[in-house]
Amino acid sequence: MNVRSQIAMTFHLDKCIGCHTCSIACKNIWTDRKGTEYMWWNNVETKPGTGYPALWEDQDKFKGGWEKSKGKLRLKSTGKGRIVANIFHNPSQPSMDDYYEPWTYDYQNLFNAPEGDDQPTAVPISMVTGEYMDIESGPNWDDDLSGTPAYARNDPNLSTLTDQQRQQLTAIEQMVFFYFPRICNHCLNPACVASCPSGALYKRGEDGIVLVDQKRCRAWRSCIAACPYKKVFYNWSTGKSEKCILCYPRIETGQAPACFHSCVGRIRYLGVLLYDADRIEEVARLSDEALIEGHRSMILDPNDEKVIAAAKENGIQESIIKAAQESPVYQFVKVWKLALPPHIEYRTLPMLFYVPPMSPVMATRKNGALKSVTDDFFHDIEESRVPLEFLGNLFGAGQTAPVLYALKKQKAVRWYRRAVTVGDVTMETAKKMLAAADCSVEEAEAIYQLTSLCTVDDRFVIPPSHREEALEAFQDPMQRKQEAGFGFISGPHRGL
Amino acid sequence: MDSSGLLFDQILFGVFPYVALFTFFFVTIQRYRVQKFTFSSLSSQFLENKTHFWGMVPFHYGLIAVLTGHTVMMLFPKLVLNWNSVPVRLYVLEATMFAFAALSFIGVIALIRRRLKHSKVRMVTSKADWVLLFFLVLQIVIGLYMALFNRWGSSWFPGAMTPYLWSLAEFSPNVSYISALPLMVKLHVINAFVLIGIFPFTRLVHVLVVPNHFLFRRHQVVRWYKNRKLIAGERDRS
Ligand code: SF4
Ligand code: SF4
């Protein structure tokens, strides 16, 4: 057992209101520079929809993530063998057209336009070339556009649905959508890191944050194609790749990342997970059906004596183990099994987990009359407007069972709370539902608590970063005093 | 040849190469130390992805093949001469090399066209890029000319150029090997050293950072800010 700690995340999709506050918070801090205008390290998509960059989930096109070939894992895009052939031109790299061309407006024209019969307009100007341009797409361009032929109907997750299910998703008055906020998943088996010819991308050992070393990045762009979530971006001005840094300067000072902190729906949770790093390869090679369970089994119980001992052996501090024990993410992912990894079939083992959203019930059953409580309490989940298969493709590697489990539990908890506070459901019914959803009363209370009444401190359990133990701390500032002076940690070498 | 011509040759072929090489090494090292961030090629595939392939791929593969040819002729002149002793083999070699050179020419023209045509790509094109492109095109054109009109390069290179280049490498430049060669050949040599001299000031530096350890490293890269064993040791002691 090789215990490592990871800052992991949960997004509770049932609470996301699609306000994009998270995206703006991130943009204002990190990507307001030249070359990054088009980047949204955090973006919020409407599902069904094509997303940003358009059709990022279409791995036939973008070749992101890993694939199994003869029992071995290899990158779908530029694996080692093909890197030489593809180094001058990366065939699966998205271009700016797949995102959008960033623009501003010629506001001066509003003031300077000569007098005329028409109102002056602020014409859009490209932020790349500075020339006038026609806007063809933008970030969140398919926002709320459920049912549209160009966007919603092209969602790659619809591929396994029947025609009837598709029609149901797009029929007027039946239309439905939910929001899907996305950031880098800070994966355990990151394809971006594995693909980098220069070794510029790396995972931080202490907290698992995945970063790009700007000095080592040589613009080979392999990571951009390799990340199946398209969460590494190319800065066209500096010629370097950039990505979500999980606001590590904030985390190291005990603050939640900006998108987490600003989230209006309070859907975001952040905490430590302990995992067994020896099992990464093995789990990433599992069959699609076994992936979710395998991924979950890598996450270790922070209260288990053996795990604690192994963690300490690996230099993980008490404070981090304590944070892992209090981690809200651990509850959602491992204990309650409510939160699921997105597209784990890409085999990067993401460390961001989503609680799948509840959706409206089919409203036209039986001449428009809704069924009330029936003996099978959960019929409406299987018949809900967002087909389970769709959610299964997103969060279950094509399996509906894990999604169904999470939705049932969510519904049971709701009905249980209805029995407690409203009283229109009998406690007996509620308890039957809880039992059917594999949930105890205590668990239901805890879920309710962490979902609805959570404070900032409940949502974000951020361990201290222990910078005092960083490598520099072990270097004696006096070591090179005679040769170079106080504080020098490398000798006064000259020339090469 | 009169003495002023000889002096001229001495400066061009006996002194200038060293100036170029010195600039190359000095500036490259300095740039790597001070401006490591800039040590890459500024890829513009992201801004224009449709014609990128048609320029980049022929240009690079063509150039790599041609440069390899030059290197082999310099390092193993006998091998090349032996190979060429059968005429058919000589023709095959020359034709192949010409094809690669032509490929790189087509590629570089496509790249220039791309840089001129697409306003987005123009935004990331610097003056140094144009200077470099000028000398590159010049070099390729002269090379193609020589292949056609100063035949057969692979036969006279080992006799004339190889000893000259070795004399340079041994720090006793012997320009007499060069003096009698046709003008175009001389131009090609001078321009080669110009390219070496401007190398560190341009995007060419990306050649030096080609990924070599990638093929051998493990998939995942993890960096620790703490020395875990050391920390555990400290804790045990206290
Ligand atoms: S989502 Fe995973 S593969 Fe993509 S950039 Fe983040 S760590 Fe890398
Ligand atoms: S701020 Fe929160 S609620 Fe608003 S879109 Fe982002 S994730 Fe959703």
For the stretch A429-477, pLDDT in tens is: 999 999 999 999 999 999 999 999 999 999 999 998 887 777 666 667 6
Which 8-state DSSP code applies to residue A335?
Answer: I
Reading across the β-sheet that carries A201-204, which strands appear in turn? A210-212, A201-204, B222-223
Nearest CA to ligand 2 atom 4: A19
Angle at A164 between CA A160 and CA A169, to 5 degrees: 80
In Å, how far from its chain's centre is CA A467? 27
Of A107-111, A362-366, B123-127, the least confident: A362-366
SS3 per residue for chain B:
CCHHHHHHHHHHHHHHHHHHHHHHHHHHHHHHHHCHHHCCCCCCCCCCCCCHHHHHHHHHHHHHHHHHHHHHHHHCHHHHHHHHCCHHHHHHHHHHHHHHHHHHHHHHHHHHHHHHHCHHHHHCCCHHHHHHHHHHHHHHHHHHHHHHHCCCHHHHHHHHHHHHHHHHHCCCCCCHHHHCCCHHHHHHHHHHHHHHHHHHHCHHHHHHHCCCCCCCCCCCCEECCECHHHHHHHHHHC
Which 8-state DSSP code applies to residue A229?
Answer: T
To the nearest whole Å, the CA of B60 is away from the closest chain A CA by 7
For A58, A153, A165, A174, A386, the CA distances from A159, given in Å and listed in that order, are: 10, 10, 11, 20, 14
Topology of the domain comprising B3-211: Fumarate Reductase Cytochrome B subunit (1.20.950)
Q: What pLDDT sits at residue A298?
A: 96
Which 8-state DSSP code applies to residue A396?
Answer: S
The Cα–Cα gap between A90 and A80 comes to: 13
In Å, how far from its chain's centre is CA A310? 29
pLDDT means over runs of 10, chain B (238 residues): 72 92 93 82 91 94 94 88 87 93 96 94 93 96 92 84 90 86 92 95 88 75 73 50
A49 in Cβ contact with A176 (< 8 Å): no
Q: Is the pLDDT of residue A32 over 50?
A: yes
The verdict on the CB of residue A272 being under 6 Å from ligand 2 is: no
**Would you list the domain boundaries of chain B?**
3-211
Using a CB-CB cut-off of 8 Å, the residues of chain A touching B56 are 88-89
* Ligand showing the shortest atom-to-Cα distance for residue A342: 1
Task: Report all structural domains of chain A as residue ranges with CATH numbers, in order of start.
Answer: 265-459 (1.10.3650.10)
For the stretch A287-336, pLDDT in tens is: 999 999 999 999 999 999 999 999 999 889 999 999 999 999 999 999 99
CA dihedral B102, B108, B113, B119 (to 10 degrees): 160
Least CB–CB distance from A204: residue in B43, B209, B223: B223
Confidence of residue A375 (pLDDT cuts 50, 70, 90): low
User: Which range is most confident: A351-355, A387-391, B176-180?
Assistant: A351-355
A259 in Cβ contact with A149 (< 8 Å): no
To the nearest whole Å, the CA of A329 is away from the closest chain B CA by 23
Q: What pLDDT sits at residue B53?
A: 93
Q: Is A5 helix (H, G, I), strand (E, B) or coil?
A: strand
Q: What pLDDT sits at residue B238?
A: 41
Confidence of residue A81 (pLDDT cuts 50, 70, 90): low
For the stretch A224-273, pLDDT in tens is: 999 999 999 999 998 999 999 999 989 999 999 999 999 999 999 999 99
Q: What pLDDT sits at residue A496?
A: 38
Count of A-B CB contacts under 8 Å: 140
Q: What are phi and psi of A393, to 5 degrees?
A: -65, -30
Angle at A189 between CA A184 and CA A192, to 5 degrees: 55
Q: What pLDDT sits at residue B2?
A: 57
The Cα–Cα gap between A178 and A45 comes to: 8
pTM: 0.89
The verdict on the CB of residue A18 being under 6 Å from ligand 2 is: yes
